[in-house]
Amino acid sequence: MPIVRLEIANGIASTEQKKAVIRRMTDVLVEELGRNPEYIFVVIDEVETDNWGRKGQSLTELWQEREARTGKEEP
Amino acid sequence: MPIVRLEIANGIASTEQKKAVIRRMTDVLVEELGRNPEYIFVVIDEVETDNWGRKGQSLTELWQEREARTGKEEP
Amino acid sequence: MPIVRLEIANGIASTEQKKAVIRRMTDVLVEELGRNPEYIFVVIDEVETDNWGRKGQSLTELWQEREARTGKEEP
Amino acid sequence: MPIVRLEIANGIASTEQKKAVIRRMTDVLVEELGRNPEYIFVVIDEVETDNWGRKGQSLTELWQEREARTGKEEP
Amino acid sequence: MPIVRLEIANGIASTEQKKAVIRRMTDVLVEELGRNPEYIFVVIDEVETDNWGRKGQSLTELWQEREARTGKEEP
Amino acid sequence: MPIVRLEIANGIASTEQKKAVIRRMTDVLVEELGRNPEYIFVVIDEVETDNWGRKGQSLTELWQEREARTGKEEP
- Mean pLDDT in each 10-residue stretch from start to end of chain F (75 residues)? 96 98 98 97 98 97 93 69
E73 contact residues in A (CB cutoff 8 A): none
Whether C60 has a pLDDT exceeding 70, the answer reads yes
Whether A75 has a pLDDT exceeding 60, the answer reads no
Helix (H) or strand (E) holding C23: helix C15-33
Instruction: Note the pLDDT tens digit of each residue in E39-50.
Output: 999 999 999 999
Distance (Å) from the alpha carbon of B45 to chain A's nearest alpha carbon? 10
Whether C1 has a pLDDT exceeding 90, the answer reads no
pLDDT for the residue E53: 98
Q: Which of C22, C38, C43 sits opposite E7 (nearest CB)?
A: C43
Enumerate chain D positions whose Cβ falls within 8 A of a Cβ in F.
1-9, 12-13, 17, 20-21, 24-25, 28-29, 32-35, 39, 52, 54, 59, 75
Whether E72 has a pLDDT exceeding 80, the answer reads no
D37/A53 Cβ within 8 A: no
> Cβ-count burial of D3 within 10 angstroms (0-12 exposed, 13-18 middle, 19+ buried)?
buried
pLDDT for the residue D1: 80
The whole-number average pLDDT for the span B24-41 is: 98
Active site residue C37: no
Distance (Å) from the alpha carbon of E70 to chain F's nearest alpha carbon? 32
* Beta carbons of B55 and A37 less than 8 angstroms apart: yes
* Beta carbons of F50 and E10 less than 8 angstroms apart: no
Q: Which of C26, C45, C46 sits opposite E55 (nearest CB)?
A: C26
Instruction: Note the pLDDT tens digit of each residue in C37-48.
Output: 999 999 999 999
The count of C-alpha atoms lying within 13 angstroms of the C-alpha of C41, restricted to the half-sphere facing its C-beta, is: 24
Q: Quick one: closest CA in B to F40, which residue?
A: B39
Establish whether chain D is in contact with chain E, requiring a minimum of 3 CB pairs below 8 angstroms: yes
Instruction: Give the whole-number percent of chain C exceeding pLDDT 70.
Output: 96
State yes or no: ipTM above 0.90: yes
Q: Which residue did the predictor score with more confidence, D75 or D68? A: D68
**Phi, psi torsion values for E34, nearest 5 degrees:** 65, 25
Rounded Cα distance between E10 and E28, Å, is 24
Whether A70 has a pLDDT exceeding 70, the answer reads yes
Whether A44 has a pLDDT exceeding 90, the answer reads yes
Q: Quick one: closest CA in C to F36, which residue?
A: C55
Residue C30 pLDDT grade (very low, low, confident, very high; cuts 50, 70, 90): very high
Taken in order of first residue, the domains within chain B and their CATH numbers are 3-70 (3.30.429.10)
Q: Which of B25, B32, B59 sits opposite C28 (nearest CB)?
A: B25
Rounded Cα distance between B32 and D13, Å, is 36
Instruction: Note the pLDDT tens digit of each residue in D29-57.
Output: 999 999 999 999 999 999 999 999 999 99
Instruction: Note the pLDDT tens digit of each residue in A4-24.
Output: 999 999 999 999 999 999 999
Q: Which of F47, F57, F61 sits opposite E43 (nearest CB)?
A: F47
Residue C22 pLDDT grade (very low, low, confident, very high; cuts 50, 70, 90): very high
pLDDT for the residue C75: 57
* Beta carbons of F53 and E26 less than 8 angstroms apart: yes
pLDDT for the residue D74: 62
Distance (Å) from the alpha carbon of C33 to chain F's nearest alpha carbon? 26
Distance (Å) from the alpha carbon of E68 to chain D's nearest alpha carbon? 40
pLDDT for the residue C55: 96
The whole-number average pLDDT for the span B9-20 is: 97
